[in-house]
Amino acid sequence: MDCKRILFFLFSITMLMGLYKKVNAQNDQDIEALSLDALLNTEISTASKYEQTTSEAPASVTIITAEDIERYGYHTIQDVLQGVQGFYSSYDRDYNYQGVRGFSRPCDYNDRILVLINGQTANEPFYNAVGIGTDFQISLSNVERVEIVRGPGSALYGTSAMFAVINVITKNSTTFEGIQASVETGSYGRKSSSANVGKQFDNGLGIVLSGQWTDIKGQNLYYKEYNDPSTNNGMAMGLDWDKFYRYGATISFKEFKLQAFMNSREKGIPTGAWGVVFNNPHSKTLDENQQLQLEYSHSIGVDKNIMLRAYYDHYYYNGVYPYEDEEDGETYSYDIWDSNDAKRLGSELQFRWDIRSNNRLIAGAEYQKILRANYRYWDARETYYDEDFPYNTQSFYLQDEYQARDNLSFTGGIRWDNYSDRGKALSPRGAIVYHPAKTTTLKFLYGEAFRVPNLYEVYYVDPWAGWKPNLGLDAERIKTIEFVWEQRLSEGLMGTLSLYNYRMNGLIDTIVDPSDSLIQFQNTGNVCAHGLELALHARFNNRMSGYINCTFQKAKDIATGEKLTNSPSSLFKMGLVIKFFNFLYIAPELRYETERITVYGTKTDSFLLSNINFSTRPLFGHFKLSFNIRNLFDVAYETPGGYELLQPAILQDGRNFIVRFGYSL
């Protein structure tokens, strides 16, 4: 059946391309879309903390533009990553999880990738977690581009940057000026509205404001594991709802930039996770973030630059979990609440010096003070746990890029991090970037990264559930070697090949201590993996663009030789944007994934998903329409869950749609 769908989808794309050539034969002068040259010359800052093109960057890099986001109909950061080589996802009907290069542990809340917003860490300081679904801090309508750097990034960014660093760059007043507003409706009772306002004043002051509000009613869901009259015959009714809002502001003036973002997301839990009473409407989670950053950048002559930034963020989580118990022969119901409250204050000083025309040095220092890191759980009768774990971190980093020849550069860097409560870490990196021809780039990359155990893993204790803390828990560490070949194949076609190998030591996981039968987080094992990533990116005549990529990967436990859970062996993805009649864009996407092993030893089926998005240029100068259909062929597919679920895997959404009406001025 998958082969038939692939053939049908490829045939449909071929027919679209043929129709495109016929309809648009006389319309090749359009220059609205970003050309391949413009894309490749887009300067990014994530790979080295200063601006450079993707071919210069000492890393494997992908850029997703605002145009890509609009044409493919992406709504979340996870949507953006779905089309990128090496990335795959899971969703347990509460949170979204991102796997990279064959690695994704259950309930890690994405703490092995680092996500930034304009360079500021979005991962919160208690779990080192970051939301990539509807719980992300900003709306994609306010995004200029997303810079995705695969591989370790701790040499510049510290903890959690083990598999990737993802920097979300928001719109600024120099690239966006005016008013944009939109409303949405769609499947599962979706209602949404958003707005962006940008203005650049003559005195140099620039302001961009953004906001979004969304309410999704969700679905009634069936789980066979609960198919019993006492649990509503496995039906979770009205518990899949999702409500969120987010606001942002960016203000720039000369050498200063101030940014502020806040979001709140509340989600119902329909799966019975954590052993709660199934089909109870009380079960839900709330996640809130507030971020503030002030940055100052000043050039000292033509060869030096100093950057100083200060930031503050606040993360709050609250979960409600309904349970039942018996007392004196009577069954009674009660709710358990748990919460996190984390506040972080930090600063960074960076100095960039072009020592010679071919030698650039950057040096930096960063300090973080975790003012509050509280974890609490309680019920109506008593508080079972309420502890605060403030800490601080000092960091220093140094990186040197030496341009030995016009076509050959060497990059070396190192970072030292000192945690007041969890030890120290040293993270080196090295890279050789060689251009044997104008159209060819070869990169030889080495990097080490780490993840300090989060506070939950170190301190969590629950004698009633049989958990104990582990104050001696060590950091996870990874070493990665990678070769990247980037080849310009024609004026509109770019190819990339990546070969990588990594080894992770000290993997943190839960075990039962045989000495006392209590559960504890421990450094349980080592992991190794290797993989091949192939990608083609095309932008032809500024009227057609697309991508196709495939990934072959194998990640295993070194001690047992067994394949890791939640790790597909192969991924295949493709997308195409074609413009018709000078106003209509049609963008089909295809995603294929092989089986994954669940934590219960079962396997999910391989699946093939097809999405398609229809969008328009501004009509009558101001109006835009889009119609996005996901899972076009209504494929029933699952992604693995964690040990907190009775279900080995969770059924994902079937065919659904989103309609958007937009206005710009």
**Residues 613-623 pLDDT 10s:** 999 999 988 99
Give 520-541 pLDDT, tens digit per residue.
899 988 999 999 999 999 988 6
C-alpha 261/C-alpha 208 separation (Å) is: 12
Is the pLDDT score of 269 beyond 50? yes
Rounded CA separation 340/315 (Å):
8
Query: pLDDT grade, residue 34 (50/70/90)?
Result: low
Binned at pLDDT 50, 70 and 90, residue 23 comes out as very low
28: helix, strand or coil: coil
* Tokens, residue 130: 């970051």
Q: What is the pLDDT of residues 367-422, one digit of tens each?
A: 999 999 999 999 999 998 999 999 999 999 999 999 999 999 999 999 999 999 88
Report the b/e string of 214-224 with b at 16+ CB within 10 A: bebebbebebe
Average pLDDT over all residues of the chain: 92
Tokens 């341009």 belong to residue: 403
CA–CA–CA angle 200, 206, 212 (5° rounding):
100
Stretch 3-16: mean pLDDT: 52
| Whether pLDDT at 166 is above 60 | yes
pTM of the entire predicted model = 0.93
> Edge-to-edge strands of the sheet including 60-65?
60-65, 143-150, 164-170, 114-117, 120-121
Q: Is residue 588 classed as helix, strand or coil in its secondary structure?
A: strand
**pLDDT level of residue 542 (50, 70, 90 thresholds):** low
Whether the pLDDT of residue 463 is over 80: the answer is no
Q: Residue 413: is it exposed, middle or buried by C-beta count within 10 angstroms (0-12/13-18/19+)?
A: buried
Q: What residues does each domain of the chain span?
A: 2-664
pLDDT of residue 10: 54
CATH topology of domain 2-664: Maltoporin; Chain A (2.40.170)
**pLDDT mean over 246-260:** 95
pLDDT band at 30 (very low <50, low <70, confident <90, very high): very low
